[in-house]
Each structure stands twice: as structure tokens, then as C-alpha cells.
């Protein structure tokens, strides 16, 4: 089992280009697994972890409701945003500058074969990261992602998650609001959940700007420990 994960920081990159790149890496792992089975080989499958920041974009998961996007095509254009219907789970979300997006493209057979556990580990990596900033966060029953103020009238989402998996290979991932412009969430019903707010690390800490590279380092540390993995830079 190959527990090494190749880390790539793509910087600021168009959503569609990044999605196509994810698909390419995903297909490479799946094709290798099929070949291993067909030819009775034991070639190790690679794992990847992509960090990226996207220009303003809204994405709708395969089970999502288009009515949760509250903008017309012209309004999207006026806001400098794009929209894509994509093949992950979950409903609608926003990506943009000041948000840390992580796409783990893993062969879970290198780690464990349990999608539920995989999602809980993704959430836990973020929960532990936020704890380092003095923030207590957690899960909201029946709602994937990471929340603050769970069980109170002031519940607010700080990290959205949506994944796709096939043959135990994952793609898509999480989006943590660090210094994001939260005004863009006003144009959607985030994740299809009405009546709950969205927040960011910057807002919760009451600071001018959070060091995003520092946040990434913390996420990787907790991800590595949870998955018993090592990163290759």
C-alpha cells in the first residue's frame, strides 16, 4: 500500500482547468487499478493532494437544485463569476479568492475502504486546524462540512465538502473560508440549506487577514496524521 501523497499547490487557477486536471489524475489511478486486476500486477497506485484558489465560481453537485443559484446568467457575468454543474456529491457552493480549496485524489485502498470514514477524516482535519486558532467547531447532523455554533441559533458554516469516489478513488474535496468575501454566498442558498449563515476564519478571529500558507501547513499536518500518510513535495 502506497501511503505517499504527492502535494501540488496550483495557486490561483480556473475552476474548469482544475476540474479537468483532477479528472486526468483520477483516470490515471483508476486505469492503473483496472490494469493491475486484469494483468494480475501489483503496481503501486499514486495519491495526490491539490491545493488551489479559484476565481469567483459557483458549482452545483449532481444531486443539487439549480434554484439554489439566485443569479441569472447576466448577473453572474456582472459579478465576474462563472457557474458549473459538476460530478461531486452535495448541492451548490461558492469558490473564490481567500478560500483554501483542497482536492485529495487518493486510492483509498492504500489507506482504508470506507467513504464515510474518509469524509469524517476530512472534516476532522479542518476541525483540528480551527482548534489551533482557538475555535471550537464540529459537525452538524445530516449536513456534511464543518460548522461553528452547532446546536445554537448562531450555527454557521466555515468549510464545505463534496466528493466523488469510484473504485475507491476520490476526487473533489473541501473549501475552507479563510479570507473569502462572504458577500458572494448571498447569491446562493449554500449547500441547499436555508436559514444558516456562512463564516470565515478572518471573521471569527476578527483580524485583517489570516496567513493562508500557515493554515495550509496546519491542514496538511492533521491530514497526514489522520491518514497515517507522508507528503512528497
Q: What is the pLDDT along the chain (233 residues), one digit of tens a residue?
A: 999 999 999 999 999 999 999 999 999 999 999 999 999 999 999 999 999 999 999 999 887 888 889 988 899 999 999 999 998 877 888 999 999 999 999 999 999 999 999 999 999 999 999 999 999 999 988 788 999 999 888 999 999 999 999 999 999 999 999 999 999 998 887 655 555 789 999 999 999 999 999 999 999 999 999 999 999 98
Longest dimension (CA), the chain: 57
Angle at 36 between CA 32 and CA 38, to 5 degrees: 115
Q: Is 95 annotated to bind ligand? A: yes
> 101, 191, 198, 220: which one is catalytic?
191
Closest CA to 133 of 225, 204, 223, 217: 204
Question: CATH top-level class for 4-227?
Answer: alpha beta
Phi, psi dihedrals of residue 180, rounded to the nearest 5°: -70, 150
Q: Is 94 annotated to bind ligand? A: yes
191 classed as catalytic? yes
Looking at residue 186, what DSSP letter applies?
G
Q: Is 91 annotated to bind ligand? A: yes
Q: Is 90 annotated to bind ligand? A: yes
Rounded distance, CA 130 to CA 134, Å? 7
Amino acid at each position: 500500500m502506497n501511503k505517499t501523497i504527492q502535494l501540488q499547490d496550483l495557486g490561483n487557477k480556473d475552476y474548469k482547468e482544475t476540474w479537468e486536471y483532477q479528472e486526468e489524475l483520477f483516470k490515471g489511478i483508476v486505469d492503473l487499478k483496472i490494469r493491475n486486476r486484469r494483468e494480475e500486477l501489483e503496481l503501486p497506485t499514486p495519491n495526490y493532494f491539490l491545493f488551489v484558489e479559484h476565481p469567483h465560481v459557483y458549482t452545483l453537485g449532481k444531486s443539487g437544485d439549480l434554484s439554489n443559484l439566485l443569479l441569472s446568467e447576466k448577473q453572474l457575468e456582472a459579478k465576474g463569476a462563472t457557474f458549473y454543474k459538476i460530478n461531486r456529491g452535495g448541492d451548490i457552493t461558492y469558490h473564490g479568492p481567500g478560500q483554501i480549496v483542497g482536492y485529495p485524489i487518493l486510492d483509498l485502498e492504500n489507506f482504508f475502504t470506507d467513504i464515510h470514514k474518509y469524509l469524517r477524516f476530512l472534516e476532522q482535519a479542518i476541525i483540528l486546524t480551527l482548534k489551533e486558532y482557538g475555535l471550537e467547531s464540529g459537525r452538524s447532523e445530516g449536513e456534511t462540512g464543518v460548522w461553528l455554533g452547532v446546536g445554537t441559533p448562531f450555527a454557521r458554516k466555515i468549510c464545505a465538502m463534496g466528493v466523488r469516489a469510484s473504485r475507491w478513488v476520490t476526487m473533489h474535496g473541501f473549501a475552507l473560508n479563510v479570507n473569502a468575501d462572504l458577500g458572494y454566498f448571498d447569491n446562493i442558498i449554500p449547500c441547499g440549506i436555508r436559514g444558516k449563515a456562512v463564516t470565515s476564519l478572518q471573521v471569527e478571529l476578527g483580524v485583517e487577514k489570516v496567513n493562508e500558507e500557515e493554515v495550509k501547513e496546519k491542514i496538511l499536518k492533521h491530514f497526514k496524521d489522520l491518514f497515517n500518510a507522508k507528503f512528497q513535495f
